[in-house]
Amino acid sequence: MTSFRPETRTIACRDRIMDFKQGPKIMGILNTTPDSFHDGGAFEQKEDHPAETPNPTDRTPNRLNLTSGCLDLTSGRLNLTSGCLNLTSGCLNLTSGCLNLTSGCLNLTSGCLNLNTALDHALTMLGEGADIIDIGGESSRPGAIPVNTEEETQRTAPLIAMLRQHTDAIISIDTCKAEVAEAALLAGADIVNDISGFTFDFNMAEVCARHKAPVILMHTPSKPESMQWSTGTPTGEGDIVETVINFLQQAIERAELAGVTGIIIDPGFGFGKSVEENFTLLRRLKEFRRTGRPILAGVSRKSFLGNAIQKEGKSAPPTTERLNATITAETLAILNGADIIRTHSVKAAAECRLVIQAMQRQF
């Protein structure tokens, strides 16, 4: 298989194009999960959540058109036809047939998602240089508690629909559930980012193919709830690079067999890998060009970076204090062949990209 050359490749993202001719792309992370406070502070726990008053500057549009109909936000309510979101496999019933969007606040079973705060964070990242916004509604950190399909859809689809009204940038849905992906694609998402490489939900490939959506296929050896942090994960006996490449080759074959054409790969930094294995993947990232696919690197704030900068006798720095380590790792990732950087710190990553490109222009 020939090596992937980003300068000569574009990927069709439904109605948009991801063009690598201008260099690596920056993907900004926007999580709408209870433990994502450092990703923008968009989610508030339901306990003791204060009542909200109408906001005259609320940018929630009254109507968001979808392929299959529309989401009616009149009077601050998200009304779905017949009280359900119709999917190929049936329908996803929503409690009371509506989502409360009073003052741009989405009331969920587990808490309240402030859509305006989330939207502001997304637009800020785009202004800082993000080419893609990756929206997720379920935490994939080690030990994370799984979220049901209805809750994850409620956390993501309305936000995607809102963001689509404000930008023509590429929007990615970070999910491993086919029903969540379909709802997101109907709401305006362009790419599906599946951490399981199509192994958690075997309907995912068909949904992506039917919607002509490109995919990001990541390697993970297990589900997040059963994983350990990198510092608690033992190093395996085999070659981690070969193990991950073999997994991704199989994932690519599954995607192609289903009719998916646009495929990006992700080695899955931090997912079921030891500190040593993560650094091995980072050092040998160029070897993933054997797949002939663009490479995404998601190293932002990962525990193996925290371990690397941990001072003797001290605890590892929290995620909010890993910016310098993250920039260093993202620089190495680009120099070692990454075509997309998935990051919490968009401005820093975008400036990192500019410095690398300035250096490369000298040769």
Out of 284, 293, 342, 353, the active site residue is 342
**Between β-strands 132-136 and 43-45, what pairing exists: parallel, antiparallel or unpaired?**
unpaired
136 pairs with which residues across the strands?
A: 31, 174
Which single residue is written with the structure tokens 């080419």? 131
Compute CA distances 345 → 10, 14, 172, 208, 275, whole Å. 25, 27, 17, 29, 22
Active site residue 59: no
Q: What are 16's two structure tokens?
A: 């948009």
Out of 164, 177, 273, 302, the active site residue is 302
Q: What are 82's two structure tokens?
A: 């017949």
Catalytic residues: 302, 342
